[in-house]
């Protein structure tokens, strides 16, 4: 059986292509001394049939990939004609080695007992999906949950979720719309950061270079916490936050800092079958108007002066974004607003008369 990139996952396909290119150079006596030495040492390391552990196989995979990255930039026209070609054996050894390194992970199942999370991503029945296109891509998970992957985003998920939880690994940017299942929480792993929900919709952005993770909640509530063993060893409390609709958290790993705030453009919180209610008022006190707006966006709106609540308001706030709604309200009563964390604060003199 010929092993091709289509038979392997993303990392293995890249490794196979680089290995084949290196072996072609070796077969044609067109590689540097460093490349030749790396190939021959690698071939000799294939000898022996000792049974290896999963950890050793994982480490072997990492070593092969690391060695390929080291020798790949060493291309040169220098070659040693006195070295006999090992190509016939290497051709098959490469396929066998890569099959062993990659294939064993398709049936091995690894448990992370310390973290209490589900199978390792290279365990039984896991799929790796990467959006290699320039536009977003839709994906339906085994439980019916929907994921919108942005370009270059990558997700790893099992063929079937476990009975007690649903776990995926993710990097990049994607919007998750999770099917509700009170018996099986849904977890998104981004390194040590875990986003845990029962049934909700939210956005995850991972900047691996800057070590920053952002989670924006669209509906429902989301728990985001650091699952690094060092953070909750010896019975310690996990660091993290609980988010509600239109809230987001940004975790800066290098500074070990959590920043919670409102999303940039809050959206009305209604179900897919509900219509957004009209916000039309005629001589209504501001307390009622602010209560309606706060309920629609599920955001806490505070005032610095209770006299603001008594101001009358007449107008149509329907089909406006939250920030436009607040601007219209503030202009009508001579007030200003600002965002403080996950809350909105209105400040102004208020009105002399009215209901408080």
Domain harbouring 308, CATH code: 3.55.50.30
Identify whether residues 92 and 148 lie together within a single domain.
no
Q: Say whether pLDDT at 109 is over 90.
A: no
**Distance in angstroms (rounded) separating the CA atoms of residues 174 and 196:** 15
Q: Say whether pLDDT at 118 is over 90.
A: no
Tell me if 114 is assigned to some domain. no
> In 3-state terms, what secondary structure has residue 315?
strand
Q: Say whether pLDDT at 346 is over 70.
A: yes
Yes or no: say if 219 and 192 are a contact pair by the CB < 8 Å rule.
no
Reported confidence tier of residue 352, pLDDT bands at 50, 70, 90? confident
pLDDT of residue 188: 96
Identify whether residues 85 and 138 lie together within a single domain.
no
**Distance in angstroms (rounded) separating the CA atoms of residues 278 and 351:** 25
Identify whether residues 89 and 30 lie together within a single domain.
yes
Tell me if 275 is assigned to some domain. no
Tell me which of 211, 229, 262 is where a domain ends.
262
**Distance in angstroms (rounded) separating the CA atoms of residues 199 and 178:** 5
**Distance in angstroms (rounded) separating the CA atoms of residues 211 and 208:** 5
pLDDT tens-digit profile of 176-189? Answer: 999 999 899 999 99
CA Rg value for the chain: 28
Query: What is the value of pTM for the model shown?
Result: 0.63
Yes or no: say if 345 and 303 are a contact pair by the CB < 8 Å rule.
yes
Q: How many CA atoms lie within 13 A of 61 on its CB side?
A: 21
Tell me which of 106, 140, 160 is where a domain ends.
106
Higher per-residue pLDDT: 250 or 273: 250
Q: Say whether pLDDT at 75 is over 70.
A: no
| Mean pLDDT value across residues 159-163 | 92
Looking at the 3D structure of the chain, how many domains does it have? Answer: 3
| Mean pLDDT value across residues 340-354 | 88
Identify whether residues 152 and 247 lie together within a single domain.
yes
pLDDT tens-digit profile of 276-300? Answer: 999 999 999 999 999 999 999 999 9
Identify whether residues 77 and 143 lie together within a single domain.
no
Q: Say whether pLDDT at 112 is over 50.
A: no
If you count DSSP H runs as helices and E runs as strands, how many of each does the chain have, helices first? 6, 19
Average pLDDT for the chain: 77
Identify whether residues 148 and 248 lie together within a single domain.
yes
Tell me if 121 is assigned to some domain. no
Yes or no: say if 106 and 24 are a contact pair by the CB < 8 Å rule.
no
pLDDT tens-digit profile of 18-60? Answer: 766 776 676 666 778 777 666 666 555 544 443 333 333 444 5
- Per the DSSP assignment, residues forming a β-bridge with 240 are 225
In eight-state DSSP terms, residue 112 is B
> In 3-state terms, what secondary structure has residue 95?
helix
Identify whether residues 142 and 239 lie together within a single domain.
yes
pLDDT of residue 54: 37
> In 3-state terms, what secondary structure has residue 284?
strand
Tell me which of 209, 231, 262 is where a domain ends.
262
- Per the DSSP assignment, residues forming a β-bridge with 241 are 224
Higher per-residue pLDDT: 272 or 66: 272
Tell me if 112 is assigned to some domain. no
In eight-state DSSP terms, residue 52 is -
Higher per-residue pLDDT: 119 or 94: 94
Identify whether residues 81 and 182 lie together within a single domain.
no
Between the CA of residue 106 and those of 103, 151, 170, 253, 333, what are the distances in Å? 5, 26, 19, 32, 65
Q: Quick one: which of 322, 312, 320, 319 has its CA closest to 354?
A: 312
Identify whether residues 230 and 327 lie together within a single domain.
no
Identify whether residues 90 and 142 lie together within a single domain.
no
Tell me if 307 is assigned to some domain. yes
pLDDT of residue 53: 36
Tell me if 274 is assigned to some domain. no
pLDDT of residue 70: 53
Yes or no: say if 145 and 197 are a contact pair by the CB < 8 Å rule.
no
Identify whether residues 39 and 85 lie together within a single domain.
yes
pLDDT tens-digit profile of 190-244? Answer: 988 999 998 899 999 999 887 899 999 999 999 999 987 766 555 555 678 999 9
Q: What is the CATH number of the domain that holds 196?
A: 2.60.120.1440
**Distance in angstroms (rounded) separating the CA atoms of residues 180 and 195:** 15
Q: Which residue shows structure tokens 């909640």? A: 217
In eight-state DSSP terms, residue 326 is H
Tell me if 233 is assigned to some domain. yes
Tell me if 353 is assigned to some domain. no
Element housing 36 (H / E):
helix 33-44
Identify whether residues 216 and 287 lie together within a single domain.
no
Domain that holds residue 304: 280-347
């Amino acid at each position: 059986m010929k092993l091709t990139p289509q038979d392997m996952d993303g990392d293995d396909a890249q490794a196979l292509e680089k290995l084949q290119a290196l072996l072609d150079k070796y077969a044609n006596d067109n590689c540097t001394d460093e490349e030749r030495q790396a190939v021959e040492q690698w071939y000799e390391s294939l000898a022996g049939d000792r049974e290896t552990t999963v950890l050793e196989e994982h480490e072997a995979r990492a070593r092969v990939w690391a060695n390929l990255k080291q020798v790949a930039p060493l291309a040169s026209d220098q070659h040693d004609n006195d070295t006999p070609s090992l190509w016939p054996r290497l051709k098959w050894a490469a396929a066998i080695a890569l099959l062993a390194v990659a294939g064993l992970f398709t049936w091995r199942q690894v448990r992370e007992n310390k973290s209490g999370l589900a199978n390792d991503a290279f365990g039984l029945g896991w799929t790796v999906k990467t959006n290699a296109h320039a536009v977003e891509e839709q994906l339906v998970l085994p439980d019916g949950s929907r994921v919108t992957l942005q370009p270059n985003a990558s997700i790893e998920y099992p063929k079937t979720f476990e009975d007690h939880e649903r776990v995926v690994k993710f990097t990049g940017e994607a919007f998750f719309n999770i099917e509700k299942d009170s018996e099986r929480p849904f977890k998104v792993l981004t390194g040590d950061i875990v986003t845990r929900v029962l049934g909700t919709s939210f956005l995850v952005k991972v900047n691996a270079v800057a070590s920053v993770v952002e989670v924006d909640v669209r509906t429902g509530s989301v728990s985001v916490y650091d699952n690094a063993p060092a953070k909750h060893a010896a019975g310690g409390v996990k660091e993290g936050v609980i988010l509600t609709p239109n809230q987001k958290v940004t975790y800066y790993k290098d500074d070990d800092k959590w920043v919670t705030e409102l999303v940039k453009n809050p959206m009305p919180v209604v179900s897919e079958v509900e219509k957004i209610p009209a916000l039309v008022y005629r001589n209504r006190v501001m307390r009622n108007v602010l209560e309606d707006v706060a309920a629609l966006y599920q955001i806490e709106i505070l005032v610095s002066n209770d006299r603001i609540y008594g101001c009358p308001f007449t107008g149509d706030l329907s089909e406006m974004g939250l920030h436009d709604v607040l601007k219209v309200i503030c202009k009508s009563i001579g007030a200003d607003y600002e965002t403080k964390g996950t809350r909105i604060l209105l400040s102004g003199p208020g009105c002399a008369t009215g209901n408080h």
